[in-house]
A and B are shown apart, each in its own frame.
Chain A
Amino acid sequence: MNDAEPAIGASPPRLEAGDKATGRAQYADDIQVPGMLHAAILTSPHAHARIVGYRTDAARAMVGVKAIVTGADLAGPRSGGIIKDESMLARGKVRYVGEPVAAVAATDATIASAALAAIEVDYVPLTPVLSIDEALAPGAPLLHEEYAAYAKGIEGTGHDNVVWEAAIAEGDVEHAFAQCDVVVEGTFDTQAQHHAYLETNGCVADVDAAGKITLHVTCQSVHHVQQRVAEELCEPMSRIRAIATRVGGAFGGKHATNIHSIAAWLARAARRPVKLVLSRMQDFEIQRSRHPARIWMKTGARRDGTILARDVRIVIDGGAYADESPPVLTFALLMARGPYRIPHVRARGQAVYTNKLRAGSFRGFGNPQATFAGESQFDDLATQLGMDPVALRLANAMVPGDLAFGGQPVPSCVARECLLRVRDAQRDAAPLPPRFGRRRGVGYASMSHVSGLMGTAATVQLRADGSVALLTGCVDIGQGSDTVMVQICADALSLPMGRVSYARQDSDASPYNWKTAGSRSTYMTGRAVAVATIEMREKMFAHAAELMECAAVDLELRPGGVVGVRGVPDLAVTFKEIALRSLFKAGGPLAATHGFVFDGPGFDPKRASLRQLAFANLGVYTFGAHCVEVDVDDATGEVEVRRAWCAHDVGRAINPVSCEGQIQGGFVQGMGYALTEAMQWNEQGWLVTATFADYKIPGVLDSPPEIHPIILEDPDPTHPVGAKGIGEPSLVGAAPAIANAIRHATGARVRMLPMTPERVLAAIDEHR
């Protein structure tokens, strides 16, 4: 497998596929350490309550119980994202059913459970707020009375139960709407979706004699886990180490979380290793969801189809803690214009606190919500104008050189091409025979997304036999980044992939990487790898020039680890000879490192009015389009997605098969968001969909047998290989394309997700 030609654009099998196929791959729960204790977490039964006391003596006295921690043991400052409003265990107050309140480490799971049952916590229940409306109602109970006193990375404008407010505006929407011949308006509601990775969150926290903690953790960033755990435990980062296990899916749900800190705390207290792996129910109840959202949107156009204005108000439900609500809100506002050249746009939004588990990062990060509204309304506008929805999109699509909403230049844009490709693919495909009694519809959605952001670095080292060692901090969460990084490095050195080793991410040894998130890995870390490898090449050429007594400019790389002189076939040195010279003769061990923080242009405050945005510049824009065929049973409202075509610009497909897999997987996850997935709470704030029996993700029979990925390559000029990103966009377009197909089939517009049979039937009945 590792002898494959290192061509970028080839699809060598993933480096770790063999381990995964044979069961050898080690995920967090597979790790066993001698003397390991089992941890269990006690969670809040109240959605909102004050904690007035704990009694843990009986639990502490039980044989086999080695450590207990409650909120009363926490004395340091609060932690969190931009707003430091939380701690690893509830302190003073619980704010959602399922919030961790206490934890126990014991010699086995049975004793740990028994100890939990012996812990008593005294609560004074408070009135919960369980929806956006309840949170915003005048006089609503406050979740965070001390919001003003919290440390914040960016000063916010939160107040009452509003975590964050932000706005982006360009032009003059009021004036522009007055010029419009047709205006459509609508409110869209989206639900809490769960990541539903097959592997739950968990870790093993090991401890050495000096008390340094090492976490073996399924995560999206070892550096982020290290940082958050150090913060919670009031330790310097040099005493907290995080090593990535294989990750069984993440999608935004495995960023640093309470349980990492809880496990570390217990290990430190017990001076023994501690395993803490969540059950499926606890993972549903404790972790994170996607932000439910309410989006009010108004779009206006001239009779000829030129869209002049869009006004948007978005409220996202952030749950009990701020977590990533500010950036999710900001991104939703940024994406609210869609991939269109609408000159007058105003997007305003709020994120609110409610007494449910916190909403956080999830593939799409606010874009699925905004695009569901925008692309649904787009078709409604087309209907009002009497125009074909694809033609209306093409007429208003962004083109290269346009500015994105907020002012960032977009030099590379294939929005129109993506749409044309899916339209043509659907038209050219042999028609599917209709299902008896079903109505067929075809729907489209266009989308843009952003790849990039924050900082990353890569290091390349030359080994004594001419092999190369590559180190990055980029955790492969299943999307194939390990293989892509090695492809980039091997390609730049004309080495077979088997001659490049790739180290596991270890916060003690790996170069910094912010996170595997934001569709950024191939663009950011891949760019660092490419630049570092090119620098390594220069250093090797310097040695080769000395060895062959010629000028470095005359040198060329030859396949298989050889540096030769251009035009002189017989004159060459091997990588091994270069390595040995550096190690034993002159210069020292060869290594090259490149690190950078996203350095592209961001917003332009001269062009756009920007208020309280949670990030300054983001990344490179990518574009895509979906076309979906559905069959609708208009007597039951059941929707079956028959086929899909998904066109995405990836800049450069380093591993095309991996790109296809991301597109197909993202589409099905977006289809689940569209049709069947919803976390639901009862009036007491208990999650009633906390198992796979109740929270339904698509199985193979629910998924279309044909999902055609169409990869476009419009290289990004700032990346040595031209790559952008693909992780998130394919989820973003699914729900609106399906909604538009349902409308095409039945005339009915569904504005609430998921579009269950019940909702679809209700919309059909209303339309009749």
Chain B
Amino acid sequence: MQYIAPHSLDEAYRALEASDARCLAGGQSLMAMMNLGLVAPSSLVSLRNITSLRGIGVTADGGMRIGAMTTHAELAALDVAAAGPALLAAAARVVAYPAVRQWGTIGGSTAHADPSADYPVALVAVDAIVEIGSAAGLRRVPAREFFRGFFETALREREIVTAIHVPPGPKHGGAVYQKLSPVAGDFAIVAVAAIAGLRVSLAVGGYGPIPLLVSGIEITDDALLAAGQSLANATVPPGDHRASSAYRRRVLPELIRRAGRAAADRRLG
């Protein structure tokens, strides 16, 4: 296996021209897969030395541009008022374990698109934009279109996630990320990312290959439960060794009610 450590994005794009080349970001997902024999790339392109992939900046609208190599720990430590970034920080805090948060990155997690992971759900809820770079330049894809299936995204060959743009979310809004998992730090059976302004938008994870979005729910118990029930009725979530499809449907309305209420409680003013 070839290992390349470019110092610029241009170098990285060139390195990705090798066949079966993969990017190495934090390694917390990729290395596990390699150790289990699930992938064996012929070439690994480390993004570690590309400084333009790092850094968090506040944008003019009060949102954030988060460099792809930003770690979960860096995001988790953010103390932000704006609901969009706050939701991302909340998700970052419950990813796996401390050592994984120390080195795992938002870019890596987004590109990996594990349907049980936390970031995709949060990104869909906040309506984030995924910034993608290649030798041809930059393009942007809304998170709501970026995640296509099991470990499948809108990324094309030789493209790299360069940043995530997070809108500020509703003014004075509140946001929470809640996950139901068998043990702490595990992948979620069901996860709900909720962002509340006058109404609630939320994304649900664990309900299929990509997060499901429900927007514009009124902030009352009845409306939230009904939205959950509708979604549960309309979809057939997967059944696996963690939980059956029936259980995922059974718990969703209450999980949505709780997440919606909790997000609303965090609104300011």
Q: Write the residues of chain A forming the contact surface with B, with a CB cutoff of 8 angstroms.
A: 281, 635-638, 676, 678, 680, 688-689, 691, 693-694, 696-699, 701-702, 756-758, 761
- Complex Cα–Cα for A756 and B185 (A): 17
How many residue pairs link A and B with beta carbons under 8 A? The number is 46
User: Would you give the shortest CB distance from A356 to chain B, in whole angstroms?
Assistant: 15
A701 pairs with B243, CB closer than 8 A: no
- Complex Cα–Cα for A666 and B31 (A): 33
A635 pairs with B183, CB closer than 8 A: no
Cβ proximity bits B175-201 to A, threshold 8 Å, 1 near / 0 not: 000001011111101000000000000
- Complex Cα–Cα for A702 and B184 (A): 6
Asked if B78 is an interface residue, CB under 8 A from chain A, the answer is no
User: Would you give the shortest CB distance from B138 to chain A, in whole angstroms?
Assistant: 35
**Interchain Cβ contacts under 8 Å between A and B, 16 examples:** A635-B254, A636-B180, A636-B254, A636-B255, A638-B180, A680-B241, A688-B241, A691-B36, A694-B241, A696-B182, A701-B184, A701-B185, A757-B243, A757-B251, A758-B247, A761-B250
Cβ-defined partner of B183 (8 Å) among A680, A691, A698: A698
A676 pairs with B183, CB closer than 8 A: yes
User: Would you give the shortest CB distance from A760 to chain B, in whole angstroms?
Assistant: 11
Cβ proximity bits B240-256 to A, threshold 8 Å, 1 near / 0 not: 01011001001100110
For residue A759, which residue of chain B has the nearest CB? B247
Q: Write the residues of chain B forming the contact surface with A, with a CB cutoff of 8 angstroms.
A: 36, 180, 182-187, 189, 241, 243-244, 247, 250-251, 254-255
Counting chain B CB atoms within 10 Å of each CB, the highest count among A678, A698, A699 belongs to A699
Counting chain A CB atoms within 10 Å of each CB, the highest count among B182, B189, B247 belongs to B182
Main DSSP-derived SS at the A contact region? loop
CB-defined contacts of A689 to chain B, threshold 8 Å:
241
- Complex Cα–Cα for A688 and B240 (A): 10
CB-defined contacts of A757 to chain B, threshold 8 Å:
180, 182, 189, 243, 247, 251
User: Would you give the shortest CB distance from B222 to chain A, in whole angstroms?
Assistant: 16
- Complex Cα–Cα for A694 and B251 (A): 21
Query: Which A-B residue pairs are the 9 nearest by beta carbons?
Result: A701-B184, A758-B247, A635-B254, A696-B183, A680-B241, A702-B183, A636-B251, A696-B182, A676-B182
User: Would you give the shortest CB distance from A412 to chain B, in whole angstroms?
Assistant: 39
B184 pairs with A699, CB closer than 8 A: yes
- Complex Cα–Cα for A658 and B182 (A): 30
User: Would you give the shortest CB distance from B182 to chain A, in whole angstroms?
Assistant: 5
- Complex Cα–Cα for A697 and B36 (A): 19
- Complex Cα–Cα for A756 and B250 (A): 14
Starting from the known contacts A689-B241, A696-B182, 18 additional A-B residue pairs (CB-CB under 8 Å) come to: A635-B251, A636-B180, A636-B251, A637-B251, A678-B241, A680-B241, A688-B241, A693-B187, A697-B183, A699-B183, A701-B184, A701-B185, A756-B182, A756-B243, A757-B180, A757-B243, A758-B244, A761-B247
- Complex Cα–Cα for A202 and B53 (A): 43
A761 pairs with B251, CB closer than 8 A: yes
User: Would you give the shortest CB distance from A637 to chain B, in whole angstroms?
Assistant: 8
- Complex Cα–Cα for A676 and B254 (A): 22
User: Would you give the shortest CB distance from B183 to chain A, in whole angstroms?
Assistant: 5
CB-defined contacts of B251 to chain A, threshold 8 Å:
635-637, 757, 761
User: Would you give the shortest CB distance from A197 to chain B, in whole angstroms?
Assistant: 18
For residue A672, which residue of chain B has the nearest CB? B183
For residue A678, which residue of chain B has the nearest CB? B241
- Complex Cα–Cα for A680 and B36 (A): 19
Main DSSP-derived SS at the B contact region? loop
CB-defined contacts of A635 to chain B, threshold 8 Å:
251, 254
Counting chain A CB atoms within 10 Å of each CB, the highest count among B187, B244, B251 belongs to B251
CB-defined contacts of A694 to chain B, threshold 8 Å:
241
- Complex Cα–Cα for A248 and B87 (A): 41
- Complex Cα–Cα for A757 and B180 (A): 10
Question: With contacts A636-B251, A696-B186, A698-B183 known, is A281 near B36, CB below 8 A?
Answer: yes
User: Would you give the shortest CB distance from B228 to chain A, in whole angstroms?
Assistant: 11
For residue A634, which residue of chain B has the nearest CB? B254
- Complex Cα–Cα for A698 and B184 (A): 8
CB-defined contacts of B186 to chain A, threshold 8 Å:
693, 696
For residue B185, which residue of chain A has the nearest CB? A699
User: Would you give the shortest CB distance from A438 to chain B, in whole angstroms?
Assistant: 12
- Complex Cα–Cα for A635 and B255 (A): 9
- Complex Cα–Cα for A509 and B45 (A): 54
CB-defined contacts of B185 to chain A, threshold 8 Å:
699, 701
User: Would you give the shortest CB distance from A632 to chain B, in whole angstroms?
Assistant: 14
- Complex Cα–Cα for A688 and B242 (A): 11
- Complex Cα–Cα for A701 and B250 (A): 26
- Complex Cα–Cα for A722 and B241 (A): 47
CB-defined contacts of A697 to chain B, threshold 8 Å:
183
- Complex Cα–Cα for A698 and B244 (A): 21
- Complex Cα–Cα for A247 and B186 (A): 28
CB-defined contacts of B243 to chain A, threshold 8 Å:
756-758
CB-defined contacts of B241 to chain A, threshold 8 Å:
678, 680, 688-689, 694
- Complex Cα–Cα for A699 and B98 (A): 13
CB-defined contacts of B184 to chain A, threshold 8 Å:
699, 701-702
CB-defined contacts of B255 to chain A, threshold 8 Å:
636
- Complex Cα–Cα for A636 and B247 (A): 9
CB-defined contacts of A698 to chain B, threshold 8 Å:
183
- Complex Cα–Cα for A425 and B176 (A): 39
For residue A281, which residue of chain B has the nearest CB? B36
CB-defined contacts of B180 to chain A, threshold 8 Å:
636, 638, 757
CB-defined contacts of A678 to chain B, threshold 8 Å:
241
User: Would you give the shortest CB distance from B265 to chain A, in whole angstroms?
Assistant: 12
User: Would you give the shortest CB distance from B187 to chain A, in whole angstroms?
Assistant: 8
For residue B247, which residue of chain A has the nearest CB? A758
CB-defined contacts of B250 to chain A, threshold 8 Å:
761
- Complex Cα–Cα for A693 and B189 (A): 13
For residue A700, which residue of chain B has the nearest CB? B184
CB-defined contacts of B247 to chain A, threshold 8 Å:
757-758, 761
User: Would you give the shortest CB distance from A549 to chain B, in whole angstroms?
Assistant: 69
For residue A113, which residue of chain B has the nearest CB? B37
For residue B244, which residue of chain A has the nearest CB? A758
User: Would you give the shortest CB distance from A345 to chain B, in whole angstroms?
Assistant: 37
For residue A635, which residue of chain B has the nearest CB? B254
User: Would you give the shortest CB distance from B263 to chain A, in whole angstroms?
Assistant: 16
CB-defined contacts of A761 to chain B, threshold 8 Å:
247, 250-251
User: Would you give the shortest CB distance from B207 to chain A, in whole angstroms?
Assistant: 15
- Complex Cα–Cα for A697 and B182 (A): 10
- Complex Cα–Cα for A214 and B182 (A): 43
- Complex Cα–Cα for A281 and B32 (A): 13
- Complex Cα–Cα for A698 and B251 (A): 23
- Complex Cα–Cα for A415 and B251 (A): 41
- Complex Cα–Cα for A637 and B180 (A): 11
- Complex Cα–Cα for A701 and B255 (A): 21
- Complex Cα–Cα for A556 and B254 (A): 74
- Complex Cα–Cα for A641 and B189 (A): 20
User: Would you give the shortest CB distance from B10 to chain A, in whole angstroms?
Assistant: 35
- Complex Cα–Cα for A761 and B255 (A): 14
- Complex Cα–Cα for A756 and B181 (A): 11
- Complex Cα–Cα for A678 and B240 (A): 13
CB-defined contacts of A701 to chain B, threshold 8 Å:
183-185
User: Would you give the shortest CB distance from A363 to chain B, in whole angstroms?
Assistant: 20
- Complex Cα–Cα for A676 and B241 (A): 11
- Complex Cα–Cα for A691 and B33 (A): 12
For residue B246, which residue of chain A has the nearest CB? A758
- Complex Cα–Cα for A637 and B182 (A): 11
- Complex Cα–Cα for A693 and B187 (A): 8
Counting chain B CB atoms within 10 Å of each CB, the highest count among A688, A689, A698, A757 belongs to A757
CB-defined contacts of B183 to chain A, threshold 8 Å:
676, 696-699, 701-702
CB-defined contacts of A702 to chain B, threshold 8 Å:
183-184
- Complex Cα–Cα for A635 and B180 (A): 12
CB-defined contacts of A281 to chain B, threshold 8 Å:
36
- Complex Cα–Cα for A560 and B8 (A): 71
